[in-house]
Amino acid sequence: MNAAIPRTGVLRALGAMSGTSLDGVDAAVVETDGVSISAFGESGYRAYLPPECAVLRAALGCWDGPEVEAAGTVVDAAHIEALKGFEGVDLIGFHGQTLAHDPRGRGTLQVGDGAALAAALDTPVVWDFRSDDVRLGGEGAPLAPFFHFACAKWIGAREPLCFLNLGGVGNLTWIDPAKAMPEEPGALLAFDTGPANAPVNDLMMTRLGREMDAGGALAAQGRVAEGLLEQFLAARYFARMPPKSLDRNDFAFASQLVEPLSDTDAAATLTAMCAAAVVQGMEHCPAPPTRLLVTGGGRHNPVLMAMLAAGLDCAVEPVEAAGLDGDMLEAQAFAYLAVRVARGLPTSAPSTTGVPAAVGGGIVSLP
């Protein structure tokens, strides 16, 4: 592997993402100059083992202390294992694991030591992508929109479209592919729509000891408690104008609302809450999108996908319909963003995180 970052030309970047669903580490290669995508490379996945997942869950919402230290140890070890098998990589984009996110208060915390990864893998590592954005007044999230813009160019989109990532939290990116650059006014609008898989995953773990509602099987057997849906949509977050972002546990009250319900009805209602948040969020789009491309684990849930299709006027499709990999899109995003950071290009803008001006964040650690 290489110890220096070439200053020009196309780089072979390896991105790593460990999302709020706490399932494992996604790793994927993107060949890019930091502006356009040249090619997508190989990818890999390293699942968190149950004891590791327990350590991460115990640290959620913590800002310091032994739980955070333990989580950082798990994250570093899992990432080194996930990334060590990739060959010919120029640099690594390392997101780390978000434990707490409070951009208007204490800031944002992603554990993981990029310098330790650089030393272990003998490759430059770009990390701590969010802190500068928050420090300058932005939300620090979502950060994938600049990559979504490059993806829209790569698939040859001509009309406005949206990317929807359904991980632990849902986030939406509206794109006008007619614009030249992602930081250009009117090119992007991005924000977190609301909770996505996290409340359903937590319900499944708490009640049934399972990690997720695989294939929406439990939700498919239940009925949506309409009154609870209205209470959920009355939350102040939905009245805020974007850009805006969430912590994984900001909607803990949604889980409390479904406590009296049966397992099936609770799963159906939480799934409907995710869809309703997206439908409501789509009203902020500057122009109607021609299609909604869904990425993240939520696209595998046919109940959720059907709810989205029923509530929206545009085509709702998994990103695979456009030739992209929905399991790896977030990891690919941080590969792409790593190259932008290394070359001094912005990674967020007023329309994506609410930061006053386009800014590039991140630390570059050399081996």
Query: Coil, helix or strand for 81?
Result: helix
Phi, psi of 239 (to 5 degrees): -85, -15
d(CA 144, CA 66): 30
Give domain limits for the chain: 11-142+326-365, 157-322
Q: What is the pLDDT of residue 355?
A: 96
d(CA 304, CA 301): 5
Fold agreement (11-142+326-365, 157-322): yes
10-residue mean pLDDT profile of the chain (367 residues): values are 77 94 93 98 97 96 97 98 96 96 92 98 97 94 96 98 94 98 97 95 95 96 96 96 89 95 98 98 97 96 98 98 96 98 97 96 94
Superfamily of domain 11-142+326-365 in CATH is ATPase, nucleotide binding domain (3.30.420.40)
Q: What is the pLDDT of residue 3?
A: 59
Query: Coil, helix or strand for 39?
Result: strand
Q: Residue 206 corresponds to which amino acid? A: T
Q: pTM of the predicted model, to two decimals? A: 0.94
Q: What is the pLDDT of residue 255?
A: 95
Question: What CATH code would you report for 157-322?
Answer: 3.30.420.40
Sign of CA dihedral 246, 250, 252, 253: negative
